[in-house]
Structure formats: structure tokens, C-alpha cells
Amino acid sequence: MDPENPQLGQLLVVVPAHNEEDSLADVLKTTKEFGYCVVVVDDASEDNTGRIARNEGALLIPLANRLGAWGATQAGLRYARARGAGIVVTLDADGQHEPAHIHELTAPLLVGTADVVIGSCPIRVSRLRRWAWHYFRWLTGLNAHDLTSGFRAYNRHAVTVLSSSDAALLDYQDVGVLMLMRAEGLRVQEVPVEIGSRRNGISRVFPSWWVVARYMLETTVLCVSHLHIPGSRRGDDRATVATRDAPRRHP
Amino acid sequence: MISYEWTSGVIGLLIAGTILFLVRRRRLHGPYALWWLGVSAAILLISLFPQLVNQVAYRLGISYPPILSVLIGIGLLLVKILTMDIERSRQELRVRRLTQRLGILDAEIAQIKDRIHRTSPATVPFPPGNANQQMGESATDAPRENEC
């Protein structure tokens, strides 16, 4: 399967990456073993991320400027929409997400019970981050168990919504994107999956406490400004997150 | 007559409400809202503790305390304007580099299409046209201003 000319309705895997030369090759090899078309969005990396993507046979979208995780993901979604992909799966380049779980994510999309499926593993995060999630759930009324998982599957309707300029000024793929999905009436489902730890140390999204503090402030402003009004416009209480099974707990 | 504490309190709340409305309507990018919310918080603080300005002005040797608020307000506006110009300069640089890169890519795409068309016209994947049509926009959807 050729990511440059996917068949109409094909599944495309989008991997946003910034300075992930240590783990990208393994992620791409494993993903391609399952026969998936892979698009790597190189978010202005300063290392060999782009070269590795090309060497592994993935289609490379090299961004001229760093847009961040969501900006890079949206670039991949726009590409997928332009090429008529039927389902898009996003997974991280740091090796946390197992391509073997992709079929679990896509199953609800194929039977038509969801527009977006989130691979959920809330037990992987620290207590501090769980507190932050609890705080944002309280502010927004969102009921997703895993707010920040980048392991998601989108159908064509969801790709259209999230490719739009309404989503272009979001900086992160978590709360803001989930609120937009709710506002647009997308059906979101969570599926429990195993998510590992990063293969190499520092988070690209939260490299320091200062960045974390700014994230908390900016996301709070976003949540307060988008206070959910039940029954307003396209959003209503149908678009809550459904969890297929309870999250697994490791011993 | 309304006291100035109520007046400044209402002004602070109006600013905060307007900023949140603009963020909700996606007219104002969230990070930029922090500055303006900080301004409205400062105004609310002064309305709740009006003696604060007098005390600070006294310690700074300012004989007419209300002028301190005006001075601080003007100073913050100057800082805001300067940082906006710095940010605009950064964006101008990015726009120019992006424009150049788009032009180069358009030229390369046109060359590739031309080469394919000359060698095997039947297998051209996309009809001749501009690159915007490849991004899912129909020929009748003219790009809106500032829309990529």
C-alpha cells in the first residue's frame, strides 16, 4: 500500500514526531509489519527524524516551523482528508503506543458506533497529572478517563471536523480537542489499551515545570471560555465519552 | 453617585468577560488571553483594595497617588505594544520563509506533473490545476483571506 496514493477509504496511520530519532525506526518497522500506510509529520526536528522516516518507507510531511504535537497531528489529518482516507489512526513516535492495538481502536468506527476512539490507559500517568485531569474534568464536564492519550482513531467525519480552522489554534491535543469534538456532536468512545513509558526520557510536550505551569493556566482559560451549555448549537449530551470496558489495572 | 471601587470592579469584570468571549469565538488565541486576564485581575485587585495604590505611591514618593495607576497602565501598554511588534517580526519572518518554500514546492510539483504528463498522459494522478485543489478544496472554493 502506498501512502502517497492510498485507496479511497483506506486506513492511514499518522505519526507526529519531533526529535524522535531514537525510537522512530522501531515504531515504523512495527507499524508497517501490520501492513498499514504510515505518514510521519516531522515537526521541525533538529535530528535525523525525517531521514529515518524516509528510510523506513513512510511518507514524510516535513513542517517548516514547529507547530507542536497537535499542529503536527492536524497536518497529518489534513493530508489524510485530502487523500480520501477513510480512517486515520494517530500514534506517538516515542514507542509508547503498540500498533498491535490499532484494530481494537478501529473496530467501533467500522461498525459505526463511534466517530472517534481513544486508546485509554489512565493508570500510566503520575498522581499529579491525574489530579490535573480531575481538575479539567470538573471544569469542563468531560467524562473521558484518559484526557491526553494521542493513540486515537478518527473516521472521515471526525477528520473533517478536526482538520478545520476551528481546531487550528489549539496547542494541545487534549482538553481543547475533546471540547471541540463535543461541540460538534462527535461520538467518542474509549477503549482500554496498554500504553508503555517513553523509550527516551523527556516529554516533548512538557519538558519543564514552567511549561507545565503555562499549560495549566492556558488550558484553564480555554476551559472557562468554553463552558459547556447543554443543548447549545451542535453540542448536546449525546456527545459524551463512552467507555467500552473499565480501564485495566496492572498488579 | 457610584463609587470608583464599583466602577473599576465592573470595568475589570467586563474586560475579563470580553476576553473569555473572544477566546470562545476563537478570535483570540488562548496564550494571548493571559495578559489581558492579568490586566483585568489587577483592576479588580485595585477595586477591592483601593488603599493599595495610595500606600505604594507614598512609599515611592509620589505625591498624587492616582497618577501611579495611570503611569503603570501606560507603561504596561508600551510593553504590550513592544512585545506585539517583536511577535509580529517573528511571524513576518515565518511568513516570508513559508511563502518562499511554497513557491519552490509549487514549482517542483508543476515540473513533476509536466514530466509525467509528457511521458504518460493517461496516468496523471491529478488534473492540471493549482496546488490548493490538492488539499480537498474544490475549484469553486476560493481560499478565504489568510486561510491556508
- Three-class SS of chain A: CCCCCCCCCCEEEEEEECCCCCCHHHHHHHHHHCCCEEEEEECCCCCCHHHHHHHCCCEEEECCCCCHHHHHHHHHHHHHHHCCCCEEEECCCCCCECHHHHHHHHHHHHHCCCCEEEEECHHHCCHHHHHHHHHHHHHHCCCCCCCCCCCEEEEHHHHHHHHCHHHCCCCCCCHHHHHHHHHCCCCEEEEECCECCCCCCCCCCCCCHHHHHHHHHHHHHHHHHCCCCCCCCCCCHHHCEEECCCCCCCC
Mean pLDDT across chain B: 81
Closest residue on chain A to B97 (Cα): A64
| Closest CA–CA distance from residue A245 to any residue of chain B (Å) | 33
Asked if A134 and A92 count as a contact pair (C-beta separation under 8 A), the reply is: no
Q: Are the CB atoms for A14 and A73 separated by under 8 Å?
A: yes
Residue to substitute from A225, A227, A228, A229, interface B, most B β-carbons within 10 A: A225
CA–CA separation, A189 vs B57, rounded Å? 58
Query: In chain B, how long is the greatest CA-to-CA distance?
Result: 85
Q: Which residue bears the cell 489512565?
A: A122
H-helix or E-strand containing B113? helix B66-119
d(C-alpha A119, C-alpha A89), whole Å? 10
pLDDT tens for each residue of B80-94: 999 999 999 999 989
Residue B27 with chain A: CB contacts under 8 Å = none
Which residues of chain A have a CB within 8 Å of the CB of B30? 169, 171, 218-219, 221-222, 225
Q: At what angle do helices A209-225 and A127-140 cross, to 10 degrees?
A: 20
Decide if B131 contacts B111 (C-beta within 8 A).
Answer: no
Nearest-5° angle of CA A182, CA A136, CA A189? 40
- Residue A169: all three cell numbers together: 489554534
What pLDDT sits at residue B124?
Answer: 52
Question: Is pLDDT larger for residue A78 or for residue B126?
Answer: A78
Per-residue model confidence as pLDDT tens digits over B17-47 = 999 999 999 899 888 899 899 989 988 888 8
CB contact under 8 A, A171 and B97: no
A6 to chain B nearest CA, in Å? 12
Closest by Cβ to A64, choosing from B19, B23, B98: B98
Place of cell 487523500: A83
A44 near A78, Cβ under 8 Å?
no
Cβ–Cβ gap A169/B30 under 8 Å: yes
Cα separations (Å) of A6 from A56, A89, B80, B99?
17, 14, 48, 28
* Chain B residue with the nearest C-alpha to that of A172: B30
Q: What is the DSSP letter of B148?
A: -
ipTM of the complex: 0.72
Q: B6 pLDDT exceeds 90?
A: no
Of A47, A59, A57, the C-alpha closest to A23 is A47
The CA distance from B45 to B40, in Å, is 9
A218 vs B21, B31, B97: nearest CB: B31
B58 Cα to chain A: minimum distance (Å):
34
The pLDDT, as a whole number, for residue B134 is: 45
Residue B126 in grid coordinates: 491529478
pTM of the model as a whole: 0.80
Q: How many CB pairs under 8 A join A and B?
A: 46
Residues of A near B (Cβ–Cβ under 8 Å) read: 5, 64-65, 78, 81-82, 163, 165-166, 169, 171, 214, 217-219, 221-222, 224-226
With beta carbons under 8 A apart, name residues in chain B contacting A7. none
Backbone angles phi, psi at A94, to 5 degrees: -95, 10
Residue A45 is placed in which grid cell?
Answer: 526536528
User: pLDDT tens across A121-172, in order?
Assistant: 888 888 888 899 999 999 999 989 999 999 999 999 999 999 999 999 898 8
Q: Which residues of chain A have pLDDT under 70?
A: 1-9, 197-205, 229-251
Question: At residue B105, does pLDDT exceed 70?
Answer: yes
* A179 Rama sector, left if φ>0, alpha if ψ -120 to 50, beta otherwise: alpha
| Residue B7, pLDDT score | 86
Are the beta carbons of A90 and A116 closer than 8 angstroms?
no
Give me the pLDDT at residue B132, please: 45
Q: Which residue matches cell numbers 516531522?
A: A42
